[in-house]
Structure 1
Amino acid sequence: MKPILRALALLLLASPVLPAQAQKLAATPPMGWNSWNYFAGRVTDKDIRDTADLLVSTGMRDAGYIYVNIDDTWEGERDAQGIIHTNKKFPDMKALSDYVHSKGLKLGIYSSPGAQTCAHYAGSLDHEQQDAQTYADWGIDYLKYDLCGFREKQKAEAPNDLAKQNKMMRDAYMLMHQAILKTGRPMVYSLCQYGFDAVWDWGPEVGANSWRTTGDINATYDRMIVIGLNQAGLGKFAGPGHWNDPDMLEVGNGKLTMDENRFHMTLWAMLASPLLAGNDLTKMTPEVASILMNKQVVAIDQDPLGHQAERVYAEGPIEFWSRPLADGSTALAIFNTGEDPSDLRNIPLPLKQLGFNKAPKAHDLWLDKSVTLDAAYKPTLPRHSTILLKLTK
């Protein structure tokens, strides 16, 4: 499609985004599983069917993990009419979609506004409406739309003009949003563009239900905390229907310790982040399952008020983050980001900053027990560990 025709298409399709629609579609942060962190380019139809089965049998579906998202490398060739087809790893996407739906789950898919995806498979450039309609016909419920394949076009057409590159990016995301709307099928629209151009400022304008705020995560503690703690200050941009996304969960992957897995899960829950697991469910240990499916921690992430946490106090390696909850209580997370055990003997809880003139009732969500926040409450935090409290006046 020539640039002038693309611009005309944007004009003709443009219509105001209805906040109520977005809020209903992703009223709380989406939860599910994505294929990339474990399978990467190896993912197949069988892997997705097996994952759907395991989301049910492990209890993850009932805990809220309802999206089964196929990442890159499912794409095949386009036919003479330009319609995208799957490759041999996915012989029948509609049948796969029907299978996933039969399990009480939803199916997600992946593409790029570029001519190619990150893994150099067919992207959606100049085929946005065709692809959106194909996804709708297959019964797709979630689209991850990854910028990386579009970067070449941006640099080729505006090599030294960042403002023009950013406008091209926004227009590309708007074009697919309008194409999805035209199909009439609700799809969660997830922007994967690494936080470029302060996406939190304009993501809702292009219909996004979530937007990546950072580069890619990996299964290391250092990368996880860099991404997670850098979300400070972005809370005002998140809320029902539109969420900051610090990338998928690595809980259960790599060499993360159980303390680090709990740290990761706590921080993402406090950030009202989409919770997209990325572990091998066939090898999920009871310890990892207990972290991903801790009902009280998941409830913090899914709190309907939708307020993302912010840092309220930090001293040395100890950080305090809080978020208000819909029932009038407050979630308070305490993190030890350092390499040594640390205690709270000389670091008072920031209760006055949170509006408590006297010690509130407190429940430790990981230990599932009530605690008394008096002078005797001076717990020691191991390295890379966390405490998550629910505070009630």
Structure 2
Amino acid sequence: MRAVVRIACLAFVASTALWAQEKAAPLPPMGWNSWNHFAGHVTDADVRSAADMLVSTGMRDAGYVYVNVDDTWQGTRDAQGVIHPNDRFPDMKALGDYIHSKGLKFGIYSSPGPKTCGGYAGSIDHEAQDAKTYAEWGVDFLKYDLCSYQDLMIQAQKEHPEDTGIKNRMMIAAYKKMGDALKATGRPIVYSLCQYGIDDPWKWGPGVGASMWRTTDDIDDSYGRMIAIGFSQAGLSKYAGPGHWNDPDMLEVGNGKMTADEYRTHMSLWVLLAAPLLAGNDLSKMSDMDKSILMNKDAIAIDQDPLAKQGDRLYESGDLDVWTKPLSGGRVAVGLFNRSWSTRDISVDLAQIGFKNGGNVRDVWKGKDLGHRSGVFTDTILTHGVTLLIVSK
């Protein structure tokens, strides 16, 4: 009887954890993160300005609600071990209050190791204390970056070469420790694992209380790196759903080193992947093109579709890819991607994606309904370009 009761209790705890995750992130989180543009120079004023710009540009109303301060905000710990911000962030509670006053949510960053990637104070041995502090500041999102904890894992492996699983166990335990600490605060906080896809976090992330987890190493503002990350996500769709999302890293749209077609490819891939959409550009210097990509209503609706399904590759042929994502109401999003250095025709058989009798087709980036189509749909796509469609019955 005790065994049965214990199993029932464990099942209840697991279901409660999943409920908490779904409550925090029922759909892929959307917002802005400071790192891609400001890196280690971000200030309180920069973050407040970003919050202002999310509102004035319409990005908040389009769904971008998280304002996330990445690495280098930390100062020192006091005699009781409480973390304090450095002089670039005079009052984190006041910053959180300002962000909330704009109808936005407040995100922060730390590491399970002794130091963050930037060399600032991490959370090791202070997990419960830091989680409590974050909750008091009104934090709604925590990015938890492996960084120096990886050094501890490597050292442990050297000391115990016979124990091939020691690094994996250490990492999972470290992430669970903070996950438990966040849960204990009673505040819904999106818990984002940043551990570069090591040891398949999509398999163990939900068990440590995570809402999302990085599936790859860092992105940068280049077409080659972006597509290497984006197209490597094939096969991971079964691990995503309400409260638990695969994260191929932040958006580079607007940072200036890709063409408009390449940025549209970037956005198209991420929305088909039901990826968290975290802009990383200088919001005060967005071009009309940047805005048209980041705030395209149809593209965002694909990412935020209530069916909460991640898309996957339908087929690949050389430098041509076709990806699909099931949507609510029996609709399907389709991405036709041209990775080649020339203009190419790319086709999709509508019957193969569930439209035996054809369907109504909308071109997302043209903002145009193409009418009823049946059989094979073909479009001519420019170098590094994409056609993103929504097909409905």
**Partner residue in 2 for 1:139:** 138
| 1:252 lines up with 2:258 in the alignment | no
The structural deviation recorded for 1:350 is: 2.7
**Partner residue in 2 for 1:5:** none
Contact 2:54 2:60 in 1 (8 A): yes
**Partner residue in 2 for 1:354:** 353
Contact 1:35 1:43 in 2 (8 A): yes
The structural deviation recorded for 1:35 is: 0.3
Q: Hey, what's the Cα distance between the residues in 1 that align with 2:351 and 2:375?
A: 15
**Partner residue in 1 for 2:79:** 80
Cα deviations across residues 171-215 of structure 1 (Å, max 9, x unaligned)? 001000110111111100000001111111110000110000000
| Pair 376,329 (structure 1): closer, same or farther in 2 beyond 3 Å | closer
Contact 2:323 2:336 in 1 (8 A): yes
Cα deviations across residues 224-272 of structure 1 (Å, max 9, x unaligned)? 0000000000000000100000000001113111001110000000000
Q: Hey, what's the Cα distance between the residues in 2 that align with 1:238 and 1:178?
A: 21
Contact 1:200 1:237 in 2 (8 A): yes
| Pair 125,143 (structure 1): closer, same or farther in 2 beyond 3 Å | same
Q: Hey, what's the Cα distance between the residues in 2 that align with 1:172 and 1:314?
A: 38
RMSD: 1.4
Contact 1:364 1:387 in 2 (8 A): yes
The structural deviation recorded for 1:49 is: 0.4
Q: Which stretch has the larger CA shift, 15-24 or 89-98?
A: 15-24
Q: Hey, what's the Cα distance between the residues in 2 that align with 1:34 and 1:71?
A: 7
Q: Secondary structure at the match of 1:233?
A: coil
| 1:390 lines up with 2:354 in the alignment | no
The structural deviation recorded for 1:73 is: 0.1
**Partner residue in 2 for 1:228:** 230
**Partner residue in 1 for 2:295:** 293
| 1:68 lines up with 2:67 in the alignment | yes
Normalised by the size of structure 1, how large is the TM-score? 0.93
**Partner residue in 1 for 2:198:** 196
Q: Secondary structure at the match of 2:329?
A: coil
Q: Hey, what's the Cα distance between the residues in 1 that align with 2:349 and 2:209?
A: 37
Q: Hey, what's the Cα distance between the residues in 1 that align with 2:375 and 2:152?
A: 61
Q: Secondary structure at the match of 1:98?
A: helix
Aligned residues: 377
Contact 1:313 1:350 in 2 (8 A): no
Q: Secondary structure at the match of 1:190?
A: strand
Q: Hey, what's the Cα distance between the residues in 1 that align with 2:164 and 2:143?
A: 24
**Partner residue in 1 for 2:277:** 275
Q: Structure 2: which 5+ residue stretches go unaligned?
A: 1-11
| Pair 377,178 (structure 1): closer, same or farther in 2 beyond 3 Å | closer
The structural deviation recorded for 1:282 is: 1.1
**Aligned 1:134-213 pairs, distance under 5 A:** 134-159=133-158, 160=161, 161-213=163-215
**Aligned 1:90-109 pairs, distance under 5 A:** 90-109=89-108
Q: Hey, what's the Cα distance between the residues in 2 that align with 1:222 and 1:357?
A: 36
Q: Which stretch has the larger CA shift, 20-29 or 293-302?
A: 20-29
Q: Secondary structure at the match of 1:129?
A: helix
Q: Hey, what's the Cα distance between the residues in 2 that align with 1:377 and 1:202?
A: 39
Amino acid at match of 2:344: S
**Partner residue in 2 for 1:28:** 27
The structural deviation recorded for 1:51 is: 0.4
Q: Hey, what's the Cα distance between the residues in 2 that align with 1:73 and 1:376?
A: 52
**Partner residue in 1 for 2:127:** 128
**Partner residue in 2 for 1:379:** 379
Q: Structure 1: which 5+ residue stretches go unaligned?
A: 1-13
The structural deviation recorded for 1:378 is: 3.9
Q: Hey, what's the Cα distance between the residues in 2 that align with 1:235 and 1:43?
A: 34
Given candidates 262, 265, 268, the residue that maps to 1:266 is 268
Q: Secondary structure at the match of 1:263?
A: helix
Contact 1:220 1:254 in 2 (8 A): no
Q: Hey, what's the Cα distance between the residues in 1 that align with 2:376 and 2:140?
A: 50
Q: Secondary structure at the match of 1:158?
A: helix
Q: Secondary structure at the match of 1:23?
A: helix
Amino acid at match of 1:325: L
**Partner residue in 2 for 1:365:** 364
Q: Secondary structure at the match of 2:84?
A: strand
Q: Hey, what's the Cα distance between the residues in 1 that align with 2:233 and 2:378?
A: 28
Amino acid at match of 1:222: G
Given candidates 177, 195, 216, the residue that maps to 1:214 is 216
The structural deviation recorded for 1:19 is: 2.0
Normalised by the size of structure 2, how large is the TM-score? 0.93
Cα deviations across residues 273-305 of structure 1 (Å, max 9, x unaligned)? 000000001110011001000011000000111
Q: Which stretch has the larger CA shift, 238-247 or 15-24?
A: 15-24
Amino acid at match of 1:277: A
Q: Secondary structure at the match of 1:371?
A: strand
| Pair 134,354 (structure 1): closer, same or farther in 2 beyond 3 Å | same
Amino acid at match of 1:86: P
| 1:58 lines up with 2:57 in the alignment | yes
**Partner residue in 2 for 1:342:** 344
